[in-house]
Amino acid sequence: MSRPCPGSESPHLQERSFPRVQRAPLSHKPRPRFIEPMECKRVAKLPEGEDWIYEIKQDGYRAIGLVDGNSAILYSMSGHDYSSEFRHITFALKNLHQGNLVLDGEIVSLDERGRARFQQLQNRRSSKRPIVYYIFDVLHRNERDMLTLQLDERRQILEEIGSHFSDPLRLNPIFRAALGPLVHEVKRLGLEGVVAKRSGSIYIPGRQSDAWQKHRFNREAEFVIGGYVQSGRNFSSLVVGEYRGQDLHYVKRVAAGFMPSLREQVFQALRPLVTAECPFIILPERDRSGHGLTAAKMKECVWLKPERRCELEFVERTQSGRLRHAVFRQLVG
């Protein structure tokens, strides 16, 4: 469930390295400290069976919450201090009064229907939507590490702690249900995806494991190819857009989804369409996100007559109509 940090597409701020300390010396009882989050394996199909429980995949910033006496700290996945960025969550942790804790969860911004929306979280300084901390695991409590406990045991402890939660702290719900109907409902509600976790799994800091698997339900659509970014004798990304009325609007530079053979096939199909004129309107743009099509970046572009379309898979659109996490699938027509 990991995400980028504030201020960049990769949701981590300029992050400083943090020591990979998971346990205190054997001669001392462990204290609350940063524990590097366990990672989920991305899969095309989620596992099924009695050994698996399911969670809603929240779309935000993965965060480790630490409570030690009268202090509380929020950390990003790599150990950056989030506390000043989300003071209301830090304050709620400090006043939870459930002992010393290390918690694992996701910071999300909720839309008017209560769904996590990553774009709102990135624009939180100008948004009035609520930001909450969905907690899904407990890694330490009162001088006792819980990393080697089975997930079912950790969950029982977390639910006892969670009975004292109030906003912005929330317990991420789990589902012990048939996968098919759950997936149908998640898609109907427009949620990002599902995480499957083996109920008997231990917590492995900083590592990816088959015991935690995630699947994101992406959207698909066709877009117009208006150019590409030159790279050697081929391209590094396609510049795509969509017509709004008579005008072609830029929506994304797409770099993902190309195997070498496919890249060459697409390149050969597009070469006859090269033109000197940019087909998009409202360009260049300011580089607010680090991925804008600026005047400097446009100098690297080769423009194309907007005669070919492609099919893309993507997570969602931003408020401005841009695509998030777009992946090329195929040329159309």
If one compares 217 and 209, the residue with the highest pLDDT of the two is 209
Q: Which of 210, 233, 250 is the last residue of a domain?
A: 210
Residue 237: give the domain boundaries. 219-332
For the segment 158-168, what is each residue's pLDDT rounded down to a tens digit?
999 999 999 99
d(CA 64, CA 79): 8
Bond preceding residue 173 cis, omega within 30 of 0? no
**Is the CB of residue 139 less than 8 Å from the CB of residue 29?**
no
Tokens of 303: 């423009």
Mean pLDDT (whole number) for 144-150: 98
- CA-CA-CA-CA dihedral for 288, 293, 299, 300, to nearest 10: 110
pLDDT of residue 26: 47
Confidence at residue 95, expressed as pLDDT on a 0 to 100 scale: 97
> Is the pLDDT score of 126 beyond 90?
no
Percent of the chain predicted with pLDDT > 70: 90
Burial 226-245 (b: 16+ CB within 10 A, else e): bbbbeeeeebebbbbbbeee
Judgement on whether residues 194 and 311 belong to the same structural domain of the protein: no
Indicate if 271 and 175 belong to the same structural domain: no
Q: In terms of domains, do 152 and 268 share one?
A: no
C-alpha span between 331 and 333 (Å, rounded): 7
Q: Of 11-20, 77-86, 282-291, 318-327, where does mean pLDDT reach its minimum?
A: 11-20
Tell whether the torsion through CA atoms of 124, 125, 127 and 130 is positive or negative. Answer: positive
Predicted local confidence at residue 153, as pLDDT: 98
Asked if the structure places residue 269 within a domain, the reply is yes
Average pLDDT, rounded, for the chain: 89
For residues 152 and 252, state if they share a domain: no
CATH number reported for the structural domain that contains residue 170 in this entry: 3.30.470.30
Residue 286 domain-assigned? yes
Is the predicted pLDDT of residue 44 greater than 50, yes or no? yes
Average pLDDT (175-195) is 93
Contact present, 24 and 193 (Cβ < 8 Å): no
- Judge whether 164 lies within some domain: yes
pLDDT at 14 over 50: no
- Check residues 16 and 275 and name the one with the higher pLDDT: 275
Same domain, 178 and 277: no
In a domain, 21, yes or no: no
CATH classification of the domain holding 248: 2.40.50.140
Q: Quick one: 132 and 261 in the same domain?
A: no
pLDDT above 50 for 7: no
> Looking at the structure, do residues 230 and 156 belong to the same domain, yes or no?
no
From 96-105, 203-212, 312-321, the region with the lowest mean pLDDT: 312-321
Both 196 and 313 in one domain: the answer is no
Per-residue confidence at 22, pLDDT binned at 50, 70, 90? low
Q: Tokens at residue 333, please?
A: 């027509």
Residue 2 lies in a domain: no
Domain membership of residue 174 (yes or no) is yes
Question: Is 273 within the bounds of a domain?
Answer: yes
199 and 178 in a common domain = yes
Say how many domains are in the chain: 2
Phi, psi of 126 (to 5 degrees): -110, 0
- In this prediction, what percent of the chain has a pLDDT beyond 90? 71
Could you tell me if 197 and 232 lie in one domain?
Answer: no
User: Is 312 inside any structural domain?
Assistant: yes
